[in-house]
A and B are shown apart, each in its own frame.
Chain A
């Protein structure tokens, strides 16, 4: 019912002895003390726990830690390049993309995953053209739809969209 799990977090292999019930979110926060990733709902409904798994965004509250052993996990703590914040971190500050900041690590990880999806040509529910395979042009409507898995109780959405649009180059 428990065992050693090797989690690859922010480029480092970490060996943890975990009960099978532990989610990736709890492993990060309670076992690795990486408390940047936040717990909001714990049921996939808010996005506060969003991390990158092999570069793709995922809700860490719905992942069993044991099931992601060996996959590359990136948390908000792993985004900066030394003392240099990630461009999205910088843009969130510049555009007032947060108030209390609780949703912010999830918003930023989610936005990074989202930009990669758009660059790969993944359409969204509001894309008029499904057949086009070029990188998606991210206007506000596209950004809002693609970020709908991240709720912000403070309602900082206007700043969040502006920050993402700046980094998307729009």
Chain B
């Protein structure tokens, strides 16, 4: 691990001032991803600014039914929140299906959103990876890519985003609150936070140097009926092969409103906009839902080792909507 300076920020202005003009500075949340990647030599910061103690550690329920979850809120705290549990069940289920309990006691909401891909080549500095080392190539395309993305990818990178929480946030149309270094607030819809790789996979988000995630705003839920289901290689403590968060309102036997986001299939939580449009106003059977899911994968670029995810996604969406109806 490269030697680094450590500083603990006590207010957001101080955090911004500490990282200003220091290109190799990073923020530290719970450290469960950052410290891991520093040990692996994937990240080599010269300055680590601890923002886990900043006063963004509350979950505030608003009169309109919306919620502001602080960026420094840890998983354990979020899992205990009664209002989230009763009104945003897909979010609680996604949270609790991620990592392990002891990782969740430390991991923060901001850090969860900004955790890096689990692509084995990204984590292995002995192999090419355009995301880690621009221009070095992508070892995953000809190599092991079973767990990686099938849509939103490019010839430069097929990494998938590993977060469960972010998938539920996408289904709930969350907006990420960012504090710019000059103190100004910037609002980023969750759907736009992570950039698709294109020719520049090393530029992972729309955040700029010094930007601090201070919270995530949830608008009032579109419907109370919602869930999260995660398919993985073992029952617990494993990343998603494919996961789905769905929010559904049924009106007079037909789909009144539906929001569906998938994990494990793309470089960011993947909203199934086309599927949602196809389903609204219908009374779909499982095959209709499968067909509607495939619509959203018209531009998919599956690889030999992960093409199965398209069928799996269609089955999973059908199963979850059946459960919610």
Contact = CB atoms under 8 A, between A and B. Distances in A.
B254 interface: no
Nearest to B5: A1
Interface in B240-288: none
B28 interface: yes
Contacts, number: 111
A31 B77 CA distance: 32
Nearest to B104: A149
Nearest to B35: A62
B92 A62 contact: no
Q: How large is the interface on B (under 10, 10 to 19, 20 to 34, 35 or more residues)?
A: 35 or more
A1 B2 CA distance: 10
Interface stretch (A6-14, A113-121, A156-164): A113-121
Contact of A149 (B5, B28, B237): B237
A123 B4 contact: no
B102 A57 contact: yes
Interface string B13-47: 00000000000000010111001101110000000
Interface in A118-149: 120-125, 127, 130-131, 133, 144-146, 148-149
Given A57-B101, A123-B79, A130-B93, 18 more contacts: A21-B38, A53-B105, A58-B102, A58-B106, A59-B103, A59-B106, A62-B36, A64-B6, A66-B6, A67-B6, A67-B31, A67-B50, A67-B52, A114-B101, A120-B80, A125-B96, A130-B86, A133-B82
Interface of A: 1, 19-21, 23, 42-44, 47, 50, 53, 56-59, 62-64, 66-67, 110, 113-114, 117, 120-125, 127, 130-131, 133, 144-146, 148-150
